[in-house]
């Protein structure tokens, strides 16, 4: 795991759930302000159930500074049949506003890249809200490219 003088990145643990839930609330408020009308449901109960139960749907990384969680990234594995390779899906990335611009977001992405490599994945993929200019600039800044020839579709099951 990466280690820096003031903060470090480590794997998320069940006891991080309240801190991640608090950051998730900040993230939801940020997206709502940008006009995202999604109903954000990722609270502490959902995080504990789906991330830290017997059959986790995702895993996480946290950025910790003086024992306090100031950022997080959630991810889960996937597969791309066109490229015949494993993927790592990033499902959330957030750094609290006061801690931005110090390399934490990039370090969370780099650590996820290491998780992907270790797990045999060749690519990381994620979605970004179209009006989240800050997020888009950050991703372009770290060298990610926009997928222009695919549309995201969904179909309700329940």
Ligand X SMILES: CC(C)(COP(=O)(O)OP(=O)(O)OC[C@H]1O[C@@H](n2cnc3c(N)ncnc32)[C@H](O)[C@@H]1OP(=O)(O)O)[C@@H](O)C(=O)NCCC(=O)NCCS
- Using CB under 6 A as the binding rule, whether residue 144 contacts ligand X is answered as no
Our CB check for ligand X shows the closer of 44 and 128 to be 128
The CB-of-50 to ligand X minimum distance in angstroms stands at 18
Tokens, residue 47: 């995080």
Residues 6+ apart with CB under 8 A from 48: 14, 17
Quick one: which segment of 10-18, 77-85, 94-102, 149-157 binds ligand X (CB under 6 A)? 94-102
Q: Quickly tell me which residue has 């990234």 as its tokens.
A: 73
Among positions 32-91, residues that touch ligand X (CB under 6 A) are none
> Is the CB of residue 107 less than 8 Å from the CB of residue 2?
yes
- Rounded Cα distance, 14 and 12, in Å: 7
- Using CB under 6 A as the binding rule, whether residue 22 contacts ligand X is answered as no
Tokens, residue 20: 């991640």
3-state secondary structure of 105: helix
- Using CB under 6 A as the binding rule, whether residue 8 contacts ligand X is answered as no
Edge-to-edge strands of the sheet including 68-80?
7-11, 59-65, 68-80, 85-95, 121-125
The CB-of-115 to ligand X minimum distance in angstroms stands at 17
Quick one: which segment of 1-9, 40-48, 132-140, 148-156 binds ligand X (CB under 6 A)? 132-140
* Residues contacting ligand X: total by CB under 6 A: 19
Binding site for ligand X (CB under 6 A): 27, 30, 93-95, 100-106, 128, 132, 134-135, 137-138, 141
């Amino acid at each position: 795991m990466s280690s820096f003088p003031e903060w470090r990145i480590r794997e998320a643990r069940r006891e991080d759930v309240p801190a991640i839930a608090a950051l998730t609330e900040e993230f939801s408020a940020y997206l709502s302000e940008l006009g995202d009308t999604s109903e954000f449901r990722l609270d502490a109960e959902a995080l504990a159930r789906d991330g830290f139960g017997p059959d986790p749907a995702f895993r996480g990384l946290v950025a910790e500074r003086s024992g306090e969680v100031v950022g997080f990234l959630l991810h889960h594995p996937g597969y791309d049949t066109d490229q015949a390779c494993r993927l790592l899906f990033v499902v959330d990335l957030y750094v609290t506003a006061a801690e931005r611009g110090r390399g934490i977001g990039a370090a969370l992405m780099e650590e996820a890249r290491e998780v992907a490599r270790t797990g045999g994945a060749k690519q990381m993929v994620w979605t970004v809200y179209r009006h989240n200019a800050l997020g888009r600039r950050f991703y372009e800044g770290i060298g990610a490219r926009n997928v222009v020839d695919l549309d995201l579709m969904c179909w309700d099951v329940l």
